[in-house]
């Protein structure tokens, strides 16, 4: 009899569970629809502002031509200047048209994190992909989760006291986050204990920690720090480089990798799959390759005529990707040095002229087939690499996209923006 009374109750619980799951699915779809409509509205507002700006310029041009006598010379000068302006407007429209050649990526769902109050500088998935760390110009780092069912016990806000320039998760667990700042500091944050377990400092000369990379095998990490100097653009401010190898057990410097006398700043680092090779990209367009067991540079080559913003090993470890500040991407063969396997010009999304806040970034998906880039536009491009033509764009932010990352195993991408938001997007 007791057994008979339990069955309806269990059926009711099961039915309610199914209803909850359906409602969750509906909420995700509604959130996606809201994000799409918001993005469309923001994009239309930008286009409207550009159209109004164009109209003001053309009216000014007509007014300049309406003068007489001594105004004729001004008219000629104005005409020359305005023709250049109109050419710039046409060029901009041409760039916008070319961007539209990339279709919008098909989205399963999208979530927006609004925990920051200044432009985003970095965002990174943890080794498992369960946690996300994001940083902003005001020196704040937030650790958060994107799944509503996931534990929030590791969620935290870290105040670093200086602009955060680099983030790196321990490659073997989700317990440790490294934070590099603009005052030469490197903090190690234990996400379980919710405290800084070590606060390192680079030498006084090297005040900006541009990149941090953990070895995928050994308990070590490498820091790329740079001296600074006056300048208007990101790369103009960078001076000389220092590459230091740190022990993650003793939290002490082990060695400084040799770069020669007064070397240009190292802007980006990447380990290969077994941690034996370290690629370092430099401000002068050079790629440096280090044998980590010997602590020596084994090869190097000039990859770009401009500073290199980002460097990545290919998924099969036989190639390396570089992104230049001029917007050119190259995939270089590691078997035939100097051979370019694939290339693309993404200057319509990222170029040195408009890069005033930070360097551009790129990230490869888990399969190594799609390359996601940060962007001066509202949308981030996703390029198909190695014989695959074309690409896609993400849903737009309301400001330029400063930082990107891929989930280590799933088709989930991260984008951080000057609009102070971080978005996680599941693509189909």
Q: Give yes or no for residue 100 having a pLDDT over 90.
A: no
Report the pLDDT averaged over residues 251-279: 96
Lowest-confidence segment of 90-99, 148-157, 218-227, 232-241 by average pLDDT: 90-99
Q: Which residues pair with 209 in a beta bridge?
A: 225
Residue in this structure with the two tokens 């305005």, named with its chain if needed: 82
More confident residue, 144 or 147: 144
More confident residue, 271 or 99: 271
Neighbours of 118 (CB within 10 A): 14
Provide long-range contacts, Cβ within 8 A and 24+ apart, for 225-232: 225/180, 225/184, 226/265, 226/266, 227/265, 232/356
Cα torsion through 101, 426, 318, 360, rounded to 10:
60
Extract the tokens encoding 191.
């996400």
More confident residue, 65 or 384: 384
Q: Using alpha carbons, select from 355, 353, 324, 361 the residue that is nearest to residue 340.
A: 324
In whole angstroms, what is the distance from residue 410 CA to residue 289 CA?
A: 30
Give the gyration radius of the chain's Cα atoms: 25
Tell me the per-residue pLDDT of 121-140, one tens digit each, with 9 for 90 and over: 999 999 999 999 999 999 99
Q: State residue 27's pLDDT score.
A: 64
DSSP string of 143-182? EE-S-TTS--TT-EEEE-SS-EEEEEE-TT-SSEEEEEET
Report the pLDDT averaged over residues 306-330: 94
What band does 268 get if pLDDT is binned at 50, 70 and 90? very high
Tell me the per-residue pLDDT of 164-192, one tens digit each, with 9 for 90 and over: 999 999 998 899 999 999 999 999 999 99
More confident residue, 393 or 228: 393
Q: State residue 84's pLDDT score.
A: 36
Q: What CATH number was assigned to the domain covering residues 107-427?
A: 2.130.10.10
In whole angstroms, what is the distance from residue 227 CA to residue 240 CA?
A: 5
- Residue 109 parent element (H or E): strand 107-113
Q: How far is CA 217 from the centre of its chain?
A: 24
Q: Give yes or no for residue 281 having a pLDDT over 50.
A: yes
pTM over the 0.75 mark: yes
In whole angstroms, what is the distance from residue 186 CA to residue 181 CA?
A: 7
What band does 95 get if pLDDT is binned at 50, 70 and 90? very low
What is the spatial order of strands in the sheet that 340-345 belongs to? 308-313, 319-324, 328-333, 340-345
Q: State residue 81's pLDDT score.
A: 35
Q: Give yes or no for residue 93 having a pLDDT over 70.
A: no
In whole angstroms, what is the distance from residue 370 CA to residue 380 CA?
A: 12
Q: Give yes or no for residue 96 having a pLDDT over 90.
A: no
Q: What is the overall mean pLDDT for the chain? A: 82
Extract the tokens encoding 390.
């074309």
Q: State residue 6's pLDDT score.
A: 56
Extract the tokens encoding 380.
């981030």
What band does 235 get if pLDDT is binned at 50, 70 and 90? confident
DSSP string of 257-318? ----SSPBPEEEEEE-TTSSEEEEEETTSEEEEEETTTTEEEEEEE--SS-EEEEEE-TTSS
Report the pLDDT averaged over residues 60-88: 33
């Amino acid at each position: 009899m007791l057994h008979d009374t339990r069955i309806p109750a269990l059926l009711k619980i099961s039915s309610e569970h199914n209803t909850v799951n359906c409602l969750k699915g509906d909420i995700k779809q509604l959130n996606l629809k809201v994000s799409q409509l918001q993005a469309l509205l923001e994009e239309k507002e930008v286009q409207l502002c550009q159209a109004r700006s164009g109209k003001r310029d053309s009216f000014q041009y007509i007014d300049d031509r309406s003068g007489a006598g001594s105004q004729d010379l001004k008219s000629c000068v104005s005409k020359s200047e305005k023709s250049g302006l109109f050419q710039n407007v046409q060029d901009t429209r041409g760039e916008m048209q070319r961007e539209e050649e990339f279709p919008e990526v098909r989205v399963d769902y999208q979530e927006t994190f609004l925990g920051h109050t200044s432009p985003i500088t970095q965002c990174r998935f943890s080794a498992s992909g369960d946690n996300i760390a994001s940083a902003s110009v005001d020196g704040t780092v937030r650790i958060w989760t994107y799944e509503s069912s996931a534990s929030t016990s590791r969620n935290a806000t870290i105040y670093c006291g200086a602009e955060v320039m680099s983030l790196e998760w321990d490659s073997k667990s989700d317990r440790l986050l490294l934070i590099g700042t603009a005052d030469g500091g490197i903090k190690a944050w234990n996400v379980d204990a919710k405290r800084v377990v070590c606060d390192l400092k680079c030498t006084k000369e090297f005040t900006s920690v541009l990149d941090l990379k953990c070895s995928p095998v050994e308990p070590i990490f490498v820091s790329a720090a740079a001296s600074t100097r006056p300048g208007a653009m990101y790369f103009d401010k960078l001076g000389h480089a220092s590459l230091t190898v740190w022990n993650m057990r003793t939290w002490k410097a082990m060695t400084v990798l040799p770069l020669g006398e007064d070397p240009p700043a190292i802007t980006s680092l990447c380990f290969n799959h077994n941690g034996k090779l370290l690629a370092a990209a430099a401000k002068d367009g050079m790629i440096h390759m280090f044998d980590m067991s010997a602590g020596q540079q084994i090869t190097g080559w000039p990859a770009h005529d401009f500073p290199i913003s980002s460097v990545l090993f290919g998924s099969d470890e036989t190639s390396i990707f570089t992104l230049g500040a001029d917007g050119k991407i190259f995939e270089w063969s590691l078997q035939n040095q100097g051979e370019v396997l694939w290339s693309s010009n993404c200057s319509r999304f990222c170029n040195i002229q408009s890069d005033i806040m930070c360097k551009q970034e790129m990230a490869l998906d888990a399969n190594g087939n799609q390359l996601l880039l940060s962007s001066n536009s509202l949308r981030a491009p996703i390029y198909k690499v190695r014989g695959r033509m074309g690409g896609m764009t993400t849903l737009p932010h309301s400001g330029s996209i400063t930082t990107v990352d891929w989930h280590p195993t799933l088709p989930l991408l991260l984008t951080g923006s000057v609009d102070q938001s971080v978005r996680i997007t599941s693509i189909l």
